[in-house]
Amino acid sequence: EVQLLESGGGLVQPGGSLRLSCEASGFTFSSYAMSWVRQAPGKGLEWVSGISGSGGRTYNADSVKGRFTISRDNSKNTLFLQMNSLRAEDTAVYYCAKDQEMATIVALDIWGQGTMVTVSS
Amino acid sequence: DIQMTQSPSSLSASVGDRVTITCRASQSISSYLNWYQQKPGKAPNLLIYAASSLQSGVPSRFSGGGSGTDFTLTISSLQPEDSATYYCQQTYTTPTFGGGTKVEIK
């Protein structure tokens, strides 16, 4: 069964850091690009970051450039999101998602259950 | 960034009705347009990719159309389990989502 399992969410103070993880199973992880998508409480979806299957290319939304870093460890089938300089507006459920393609972001066909990040003092 | 505008923001229809949701891009995105369904408390689910291709396992009552800047998602015969919020997404450039359309059953 294809599965994505996020972890690492929690409560953090403004200006703090957090690292999210997403463990993949049931498919050849290195063959697909991956993304992080977030959803603030009661709001719509916002694509945050993406990475190619090899990890050689990364993509970021303007709202997180310079603060968030996406990476992956294909030997451990795990995707990461390092979040620094966190702001209240980063509060959201963070989903990891598998792409249909390897090299770039095309369509997100498998999603995890999400992990909640709350930025508050 | 390319802006995606969905309309309507919400709708209410009866079981068996034909429902159409539109999505407009601020510039041409060719056919790099996807549609997702999200039910409360759940992760989104891919319905349509590349504007008109039906994702495996998705009922055939869902269909997508359009290219360039104007796109549609059509549910040919609305079912109770289709009550959800629907989002379009462009992947022509840095991905962006539309604001969503909440579909309710009368």
Q: What is the pLDDT of residues A59-118, one digit of tens each?
A: 999 999 999 999 999 999 999 999 999 999 999 999 999 999 999 999 999 999 999 999
What are the two backbone dihedrals, phi and then psi, of residue A88, each rounded to the nearest 5 degrees? -55, -35
In chain B, which residues have their Cβ closer than 8 Å to the Cβ of A44?
Answer: 87, 97-100
Looking at every residue in chain B, the average pLDDT score rounds to 98
How confident is the model at residue A118, as a pLDDT? 98
Chain A residues in contact with B97 by the CB 8 A cut-off are 44-47
Q: Is A100 at the interface with chain B, CB within 8 A?
A: yes
Does residue A112 sit in helix, strand or coil?
coil
| 8 Å CB contact between A103 and A119 | no
Amino acid at B58: V
**Minimal CA–CA distance to B82: which of B103, B66, B106?**
B103
Residue of A nearest to B42 (CA): A113
pLDDT tens by residue, A29-52: 999 999 999 999 999 999 999 999
Distance to chain A for B18, nearest Cα, Å? 24
Tell me the pLDDT band of B94, cut-offs 50, 70 and 90.
Answer: very high
- What is the DSSP-derived secondary structure letter of residue B55? P
E strand or H helix that includes residue B11: strand B10-13
Name the H helices within chain A.
Answer: none
**Chain B partners within 8 Å of A107 (Cβ):** 34, 46, 49-50, 89, 91
Buried b / exposed e over B11-50, threshold 16 CB at 10 Å, is bebeeeeebebbbbbeeebeebbbbbbbeeeebbbbbbbb
Beta strands, E only, chain A: 3-7, 10-12, 18-25, 34-39, 45-51, 58-60, 68-73, 78-83, 92-99, 108-111, 115-119
A-chain CB neighbours of B1 within 8 Å are 62
Please compute the mean of the pLDDT values over residues B8-15 and round it to a whole number: 98
Q: Is A1 on the interface with B (CB under 8 A)?
A: no
Q: Map residue A89 onto helix, strand or coil.
A: helix
- CA–CA dist A79, A117 (Å, integer): 17
Which of A95, A109, A113 has the CB atom closest to B55's CB atom? A109
B99–A44 CB contact, under 8 Å: yes
The pair of structure tokens assigned to A2 is 């294809």
